């Protein structure tokens, strides 16, 4: 019988893992749940002692992983597992690592449109002024119909943003690292170069994974390429954008506005210059956060472990060498 451990669960997990999900794990063996992040490595090791399978919500320190000789499968409750787990070290240790792709595609896409609408129509600024007694009807909003949205990255989230934006009557162009005529036909989309997308789009929305190649992709030069008065929306990863250059472009009004859910520092420091700008809409990295997405993530995370022990692993991002 296997020992399955969730070493860093949040309150309320008992309800989410109830019923069929819990039963499927307990058919494999004993399920142990610990709440909140361990205080130190020793506490982490105590929690995962003897574990064959882990559900992990945050980071698994490499020092801890190296001292878990019984560990076979790790199911990371999210995407971007490489930001929290040393995948090459896991593979070398004989551990299979899985993640949960697609769990929040629709949720993040909807939040992207929320940031876009709020930035395009000055919603936070108008709300704040109205609450302070100012009836400001002088700010012109941006109508989305007929405007060009440039999507950078065309995975599940980017594809859903594409669908939603077209429902608003926007013209949508896409840059992806993997363009092909077959993909273009399948999704009825036009793939363009990154330069053309930046130079012609009224709104640019980021939906690309953070890798060594995409870190700093939206650098000072590329921000300058963007159309004067364009909007930038980022619900991907903060490290994709040169934040200092973005702040300058917003201050100088080269960019009309930005809508951001992710930052280079998370949480965003209270003295950060973005907080001093009236043409940026900010949310605290919550684009993924809905009950529907939370339910989906645990459905996938549990299935990862079940399928591994059935001999048909799914959603594998690292496997034994």
Strand partners, 73: 53, 96
Domains in the chain: how many in total? 2
268 lies in the same domain as 176:
yes
170 lies in the same domain as 274:
yes
Burial class from Cβ neighbours inside 10 Å (0-12, 13-18, 19+) for residue 80 reads middle
CATH number for position 56: 3.40.50.720
310 lies in the same domain as 229:
no
pLDDT digits (tens, 9 = 90+) for 302-318: 999 999 999 999 999 99
90 lies in the same domain as 172:
no
For residues 94-115, average pLDDT: 97
Question: Closest Cα partner for 239 from 212, 257, 201, 200?
Answer: 212
Q: Pairing mode, if any, of strands 316-318 and 2-9?
A: unpaired
Which residues form the domain of 258? Answer: 105-282
pLDDT digits (tens, 9 = 90+) for 13-43: 988 998 999 999 999 999 999 999 999 999 9
**How far apart are the C-alpha atoms of 174 and 206, rounded to whole Å?**
10
Preceding amide of 267 cis, omega within 30? yes
53 lies in the same domain as 135:
no
Question: Closest Cα partner for 153 from 170, 180, 177?
Answer: 177
23 lies in the same domain as 42:
yes
Lay out the sheet containing 171-175: strands in order across.
Answer: 190-191, 171-175, 148-152, 203-206, 230-234, 255-260, 280-282
199 lies in the same domain as 78:
no
Start-to-end CA distance of the chain, whole Å, equals: 25
pLDDT digits (tens, 9 = 90+) for 134-192: 999 999 999 999 999 999 999 999 999 999 999 999 999 999 999 999 999 999 999 99
185 lies in the same domain as 272:
yes
185 lies in the same domain as 270:
yes
71 lies in the same domain as 162:
no
């Amino acid at each position: 019988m296997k020992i399955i451990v969730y070493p860093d669960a949040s309150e309320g997990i008992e309800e989410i893992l109830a019923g069929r999900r819990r039963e499927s794990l307990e058919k494999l063996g004993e399920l142990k749940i610990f709440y909140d992040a361990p205080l130190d490595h020793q506490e982490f090791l105590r929690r995962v002692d003897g574990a064959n399978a882990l559900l992990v919500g945050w980071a698994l320190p490499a020092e801890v992983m190296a001292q878990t000789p019984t560990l076979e499968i790790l199911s990371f409750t999210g995407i971007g597992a490489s930001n929290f787990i040393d995948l090459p070290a896991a593979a070398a240790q004989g551990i299979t690592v899985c993640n949960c792709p697609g769990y929040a595609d629709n949720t993040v896409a909807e939040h992207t449109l929320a940031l876009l609408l709020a930035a395009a129509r000055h919603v936070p600024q108008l709300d704040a002024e109205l609450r302070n007694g100012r009836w400001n009807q002088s700010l012109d909003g941006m109508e989305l119909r007929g405007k060009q949205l440039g999507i950078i990255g065309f995975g599940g989230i980017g594809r859903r943003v594409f669908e939603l934006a077209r429902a608003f009557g926007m013209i949508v162009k896409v840059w992806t690292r993997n363009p092909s005529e077959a993909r273009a036909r399948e999704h009825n989309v036009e793939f363009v170069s990154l330069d053309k997308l930046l130079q012609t789009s009224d709104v640019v929305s980021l939906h690309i994974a953070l890798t060594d190649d995409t870190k700093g992709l939206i650098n000072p030069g590329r921000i300058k390429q963007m159309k004067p008065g364009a909007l930038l929306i980022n619900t991907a990863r903060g490290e994709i954008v040169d934040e200092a250059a973005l702040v300058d472009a917003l201050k100088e009004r080269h960019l009309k506005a930005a809508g951001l859910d992710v930052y280079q520092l998370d949480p965003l420091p209270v003295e950060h210059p973005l907080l001093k700008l009236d043409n940026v809409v900010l949310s605290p990295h919550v684009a993924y956060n809905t009950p529907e997405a939370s339910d989906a993530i645990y459905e996938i995370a549990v299935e990862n472990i079940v399928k591994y022990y059935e001999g048909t692993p799914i959603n594998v991002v690292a496997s034994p060498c």
